[in-house]
Amino acid sequence: VLMRWIVKILIKGKSAYQSVGFSDYIYLGCALNVCRTVSEMFPDEIALYFLDRNIDLKFTSKLIGYIDSPCSVSWCWGRNLNDVDKIYGTGVERLIFNLGSAYTADAINAISNRYGLSSCVLQINVYRKSGTLEVLKSRHHPNTSNVDLHRFLLGDSAFSSLVDNAGECIFQSVDAEGAFGDVDKQMIELVGQKYAFQTPFVFSGGFSEDTAAALDCEYHPMLNGIASSAMHFFSNFTLNGMRIDIKSVARS
Amino acid sequence: VIAVIDAGVGNVGSVTRWLERENLEFVRVKNACELIDYKTLILCGVSSLNNCVSALEKSGFMSVIRDVAKEPSARILGICLGMHLCFSEGSEGGISKCLDLLEGNVIPVGEGMLTSTPRTNVGWRTIESVYDCLNEQDANLRKLVGELNLEKAFFCHSFAVNISSETVLKYRFGTRDFSAVHVRNNVMGVQFHPEKSGRVGTLIADYWLRRR
Cα pseudo-dihedral B1, A115, A61, A72, rounded to 10: -120
Average pLDDT over residues B208-212: 78
Burial B146-178 (b: 16+ CB within 10 A, else e): ebbbebbbbbbbbbbbebeebbbbbbebbebeb
Tell me, what's the pLDDT at B179?
95
Tell me, what's the pLDDT at B178?
94
Average pLDDT over residues B23-38: 90
Asked if residue B168 has pLDDT above 70, the reply is yes
Q: Mean pLDDT over all residues of chain B?
A: 88
Asked if residue A249 has pLDDT above 80, the reply is no
Confidence of residue A15 (pLDDT cuts 50, 70, 90): very high
* Nearest-Cα residue of chain A relative to residue B21: A68
Tell me, what's the pLDDT at B4?
93
Q: What single-letter DSSP state applies at residue B33?
A: G
Interface of B with A in 11-30 (CB under 8 A): 11-14, 17, 21
0.90 surpassed by pTM: no
Average pLDDT over residues A13-37: 87
Count the helices and strands in chain A (H runs, E runs).
Answer: 9, 12
A90 → closest Cβ in B13, B81, B125: B13
Q: Largest Cα–Cα distance in chain A?
A: 48
Average pLDDT over residues B143-159: 91
Asked if residue A61 has pLDDT above 90, the reply is no
Confidence of residue A242 (pLDDT cuts 50, 70, 90): very low
Tell me, what's the pLDDT at A240?
37
Question: How far is A99 from A170, CA to CA, in rounded Å?
Answer: 10
Does residue B201 or residue A86 have the better pLDDT? B201
Choose from A64, A90, A119, A169 for mutation: most chain B CBs within 10 A.
Answer: A119
Task: Find chain B residues with C-beta within 8 A of A93's C-beta.
Answer: 11, 14, 46, 156, 193, 196
Q: Calculate how close chain B gets to A113, using CA atoms only, in Å.
A: 6
Interface of B with A in 155-174 (CB under 8 A): 156-158
Tell me, what's the pLDDT at B169?
94
Average pLDDT over residues B172-177: 90
Tell me, what's the pLDDT at A251?
52
Tell me, what's the pLDDT at A243?
41
Tell me: the pLDDT tens digits for A113-165? 888 888 889 888 888 887 788 887 655 455 556 778 888 787 666 677 788 88
Average pLDDT over residues B165-169: 91
Cα pseudo-dihedral B87, B88, B91, B94, rounded to 10: 130
Q: What single-letter DSSP state applies at residue B62?
A: H
Q: Could you count the other beta carbons within 10 Å of the beta carbon of residue A1?
A: 18
Interface size between A and B, measured as CB pairs under 8 A: 112
Average pLDDT over residues A80-103: 78
Contact B81/A116, CB-based, under 8 Å?
Answer: yes
Q: Mind telling me the catalytic residues of B?
A: 80, 193, 195
Task: Find chain B residues with C-beta within 8 A of A42's C-beta.
Answer: 198
| 3 state SS of B134 | helix
Q: Calculate how close chain B gets to A92, using CA atoms only, in Å.
A: 7
Asked if residue A246 has pLDDT above 70, the reply is no
